[in-house]
């Protein structure tokens, strides 16, 4: 199994075919899962722990059909994040002013033009800041639907709610993010 320290910085598809092994699946989804957990927990170490716990839990499901792994993994990871939040493991140190420069984003594809790169980093920083302000359910719906490109039914299954609730959370998240980004103009 891949550890979070060995996580790739590319976005491999979560499910590439029936012949994929669980190890390949976890390797492909690790970086995105870490970013998702980090947005929810707001602390790198807690996010690493949550992702590692979810990956370990997935070992019990290795005999399940590969198409079931994606919604199952996101459900397990989401549960781990909620558990960590409930236990009070959330450390607000990440949000404090002395740590603002510690951006959690890895810029794996550097742009040749430093000005464009800086603009891209600032734009992503604004999006992340907007996501941090969203209520948990809206942030989850947005991340799973937009970043992970899960369909509404799968997102509802992962979040443990109705498809209508997913649509409502996503709509509210988009509206709040749009307002947040307009404030920067």
- Chain segment 106-131, per-residue pLDDT in tens: 444 444 567 777 777 787 788 888 88
Rounded to whole angstroms, how far apart are CA atoms 145 and 134? 15
pLDDT above 70 covers a percentage of the chain that reads 74
10-14, 31-35, 45-49, 124-128: segment of lowest average pLDDT: 10-14
Residue in this structure with the two tokens 């740590």, named with its chain if needed: 99
Q: Residue 69: which region, alpha, beta or left (left: phi > 0; alpha: psi -120 to 50)?
A: alpha
C-beta neighbour count of 150 within 10 angstroms: 22
Task: Decide if pLDDT at 96 tops 50.
Answer: no
pTM: 0.55
User: What is the mean predicted confidence (pLDDT) over 132-153?
Assistant: 90
Asked if 69 and 55 count as a contact pair (C-beta separation under 8 A), the reply is: no
- Encoded tokens for 80: 């781990």
Question: What's the pLDDT band for 39 if we cut at 50, 70, 90?
Answer: confident
Rounded to whole angstroms, how far apart are CA atoms 144 and 173? 12
Task: Decide if pLDDT at 98 tops 50.
Answer: no
- Encoded tokens for 130: 């907007």
50-59, 73-82, 89-98: segment of lowest average pLDDT: 89-98
Spell out the long-range contacts of 119-122 with Cβ–Cβ below 8 A and sequence spacing 24 or more: none
pLDDT of residue 2: 42
Asked if 34 and 47 count as a contact pair (C-beta separation under 8 A), the reply is: yes
pLDDT of residue 134: 92
Asked if 74 and 57 count as a contact pair (C-beta separation under 8 A), the reply is: no
Q: Residues near 92 by Cβ (< 8 Å), separated by ≥ 6?
A: 42
Q: First-to-last CA distance in the chain? A: 44
Task: Decide if pLDDT at 9 tops 60.
Answer: no
């Amino acid at each position: 199994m891949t550890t979070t320290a060995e996580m790739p910085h590319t976005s491999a598809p979560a499910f590439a075919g029936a012949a994929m092994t669980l190890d390949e699946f976890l390797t492909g989804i690790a970086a995105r899962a870490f970013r998702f957990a980090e947005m929810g927990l707001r602390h790198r170490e807690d996010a690493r722990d949550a992702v590692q716990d979810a990956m370990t839990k997935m070992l019990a499901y290795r005999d399940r059909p590969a198409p079931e792994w994606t919604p199952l993994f996101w459900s397990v990871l989401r549960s781990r994040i909620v558990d960590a939040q409930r236990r009070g493991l959330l450390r607000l140190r990440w949000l404090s002013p002395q740590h603002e420069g510690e951006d959690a984003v890895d810029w794996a594809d550097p742009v040749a033009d430093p000005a464009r790169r800086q603009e891209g980093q600032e734009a992503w920083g604004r999006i992340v800041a907007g996501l941090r302000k969203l209520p948990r359910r809206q942030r989850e719906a947005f991340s799973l639907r937009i970043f992970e490109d899960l369909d509404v039914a799968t997102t509802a299954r992962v979040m443990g709610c109705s498809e209508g609730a997913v649509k409502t959370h996503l709509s509210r998240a988009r509206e709040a993010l749009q307002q947040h980004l307009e404030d920067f103009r």
